[in-house]
Amino acid sequence: MTREENEPKTETIAETENYLAWSAEEPDGEVTYHLELNNVTLHFFREEWEEFLELVRSLTG
């Protein structure tokens, strides 16, 4: 495997001036999700991310 094959494929989900949400498809096929909130970064596996989104939806509804 080359170095590029070992690198995760990343995609920006949403971005504001101070915050960033992005996902990474790891070489083993697992997708992880990341929230950068100023100087704090939260990392989620898929199941955790889905639960987090459910929590956020309940805050806005």
| Residue 22, token pair as written in the block | 């992005």
| Structural domain of 46 | 3-60
Predicted confidence band of residue 6 (pLDDT cuts 50, 70, 90): confident
In 3D, which of 47, 6, 48 has the Cα closest to residue 26?
6
Structural domain tally of the chain? 1
pLDDT digits (tens, 9 = 90+) for 15-52: 999 999 999 999 999 999 999 999 999 999 999 999 99
Tell me how far apart the alpha carbons of residues 52 and 28 are, in angstroms, rounded to a whole number. Answer: 23
In 3D, which of 21, 18, 19, 1 has the Cα closest to residue 10?
21
Tell me what pLDDT residue 5 has.
Answer: 72
Predicted confidence band of residue 1 (pLDDT cuts 50, 70, 90): low
Residue 21 and residue 13 in contact, taking contact as beta carbons nearer than 8 Å: yes
